[in-house]
């Protein structure tokens, strides 16, 4: 008997639906339709992931909940509600392997843009102003990558390749990490923050990381440093960040994620000098959708054949518990 699969979409269904439909009895649900179609499903493919719809539609009867939920994203914070987390029969997987390199490239681009003040150059071009000026280099400055999962590792490798000095911040301190060299835990994080020219946030959003970059952390950062957030908006106290930017204590920030998305038009972040805003697109590429489907097709084939699934999330921690790089080719 074939599994009943519900695909949550927002009017933009995944590509290669024929391949998906050949493996399961597939129905497509918008966020409004999900409460009527989710109960009794065996599998949920969340093509839309940043939404309260899954939590709101989750069946009260655990026997009617899907046994497997696949998130077409790296972050799974929208899925970490008690009814899903506490039910041992529900497996949660994510799209690990799709976003690592594109996000690393995006972070490198942001660092280059901030160091070379490309926004200022573009504004001078718009005004037809000829204004030669010096800029910062990126060979030699220090980057602290806060989050040592696969995305953080890809960022570290790429920043090292262009000559930056890189360290990591994670749950456990160590000095022999293959990608970060030194990983700072709680006891050495403060000194790492005071040394870093760039602090890159690549951590998942969990109960432990929510609001981790608060006023005290921002005050500890090196004067003139820059903050880059490609993790989740909830990692940062945005009000405190605005205050530190306005005071000129930080040189700037590049923000791809926000506590509220889309970022409200009235947010002061839109107009602050030295701040770059992007609409949660750090990991997106023109081939992203096809890559996401490939990950799911591989996993549903494993599911049908009774083999272990890839990218199984530890629901208590909120991420795949393996902060070493995936095997070559994954």
| Catalytic residue IDs | 232, 261, 280
Q: How far is residue 135's CA from residue 126's CA, in Å, rounded to a whole number?
A: 19
Question: What are the DSSP calls for 89-144, one per residue?
Answer: T-EEE--TTSSHHHHHHHHHHHHHHHHHTHHHHHHHHHHT---------SSS-EEE
Distance between terminal CA atoms of the chain?
30
What's the DSSP call for residue 78? G
Classify strands 313-314 and 319-320 as parallel, antiparallel or unpaired.
antiparallel
Strands (E), the chain: 4-8, 25-29, 43-46, 68-71, 91-93, 142-146, 165-169, 174-177, 181-184, 198-201, 226-229, 252-255, 275-277, 313-314, 319-320
What 3-state DSSP class applies to 22? coil
Among positive and negative, which fits the CA dihedral 169, 171, 174, 176?
Answer: negative
Q: Is 284 exposed, middle or buried (0-12, 13-18, 19+ CB in 10 A)?
A: middle
What 3-state DSSP class applies to 240? helix
Residue 293: phi and psi, rounded to 5, are -65, -40
The residues, any chain, with a CB within 8 Å of residue 179's CB and separated by 6 or more, are 148, 153, 156, 157, 160, 166, 168, 325
Q: How far is residue 52's CA from residue 81's CA, in Å, rounded to a whole number?
A: 10
Residue 10: phi and psi, rounded to 5, are -125, 45
């Amino acid at each position: 008997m074939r599994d009943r699969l519900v695909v949550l979409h927002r009017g933009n269904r995944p590509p290669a639906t024929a391949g998906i439909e050949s493996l399961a009895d597939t129905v497509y649900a918008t966020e409004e339709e999900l409460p009527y179609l989710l109960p009794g499903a065996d599998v949920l493919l969340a093509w839309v992931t940043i939404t309260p719809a899954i939590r709101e539609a989750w069946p009260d009867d655990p026997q009617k909940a899907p046994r497997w939920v696949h998130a077409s994203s790296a972050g799974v914070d929208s899925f970490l509600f008690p009814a899903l987390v506490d039910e041992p029969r529900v497996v949660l997987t994510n799209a690990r392997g799709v976003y690592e390199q594109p996000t690393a490239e995006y972070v490198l681009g942001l660092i280059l843009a901030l160091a070379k003040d490309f926004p200022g150059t573009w504004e001078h071009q718009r005004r037809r102003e000829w204004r030669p000026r010096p800029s910062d280099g990126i060979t030699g400055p220090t980057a602290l990558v806060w989050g040592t999962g696969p995305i953080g590792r890809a960022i570290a490798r790429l920043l090292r390749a262009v000559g930056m000095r890189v360290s990591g911040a994670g749950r456990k301190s160590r000095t022999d990490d293959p990608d970060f060299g030194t990983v700072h835990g709680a006891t050495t994080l403060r000194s790492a923050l005071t040394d870093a020219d760039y602090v890159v946030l690549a951590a998942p959003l969990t109960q432990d990381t929510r609001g981790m970059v608060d006023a005290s952390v921002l005050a500890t950062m090196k004067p003139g440093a820059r903050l880059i957030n490609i993790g989740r908006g909830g990692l940062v106290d945005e009000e405190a960040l605005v205050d530190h930017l306005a005071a000129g204590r930080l040189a700037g920030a590049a923000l791809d994620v926000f506590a509220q998305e889309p970022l409200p038009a009235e947010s002061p972040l839109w107009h602050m000098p030295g701040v770059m805003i992007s609409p949660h697109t750090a990991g997106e590429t023109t081939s992203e959708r096809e890559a996401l489907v490939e990950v799911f097709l591989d996993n549903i084939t494993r599911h049908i054949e009774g083999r272990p699934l890839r990218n199984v999330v530890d629901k208590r921690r909120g991420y795949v518990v393996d902060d070493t790089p995936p095997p070559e080719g994954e």
